[in-house]
Amino acid sequence: MQTVKDLSVDELKVLIGEVVEERVRELLAEFDMGFPLQPEFLECLLRELRRTQQEGETFPAAIAARRRDLES
């Protein structure tokens, strides 16, 4: 069995991306609460997630807000 320590950086990124995508799907399914989600909305979220993963490094919203003097 392969462990995390045996993964390359690229393999780890792919694994993390898959886990995040799976969790987003779970959260969206739980969020439904009787309101149907439009397939287009879900596809848009997943497309954006994939794009972000392919472009590389991201940073938390708090850092983005700080950089733009948007902190309250």
Q: Write the pLDDT tens digit of every residue in 1-51.
A: 778 888 888 888 888 888 888 887 777 776 656 666 678 887 887 888 788
Across the range 38-66, mean pLDDT stands at 76
Alpha carbons 68 and 28: distance in angstroms, whole number: 30
Between 9-31 and 39-55, two packed helices, what is the crossing angle to 10 degrees? 160
51 in any annotated domain: yes
pLDDT at position 63 over 80: no
Is 39 part of any domain?
yes
Query: What is the number of domains present in the chain?
Result: 1
What span, in angstroms and rounded, lies between the C-alpha atoms of 39 and 67? Answer: 34
Q: Residue 51: what pLDDT? A: 81
Domain assignment of residue 63, yes or no: yes
Query: pTM of this prediction?
Result: 0.44
Give residue 16's domain range.
4-67
Whether residue 26 lies inside any domain: the answer is yes
In-domain check, residue 72 = no
Q: Could you report how far apart the first and last alpha carbons of the chain are, in Å?
A: 47
> Residue 36 in 3-state DSSP?
coil
Asked if 27 contacts 19 with a C-beta cutoff of 8 angstroms, the reply is no
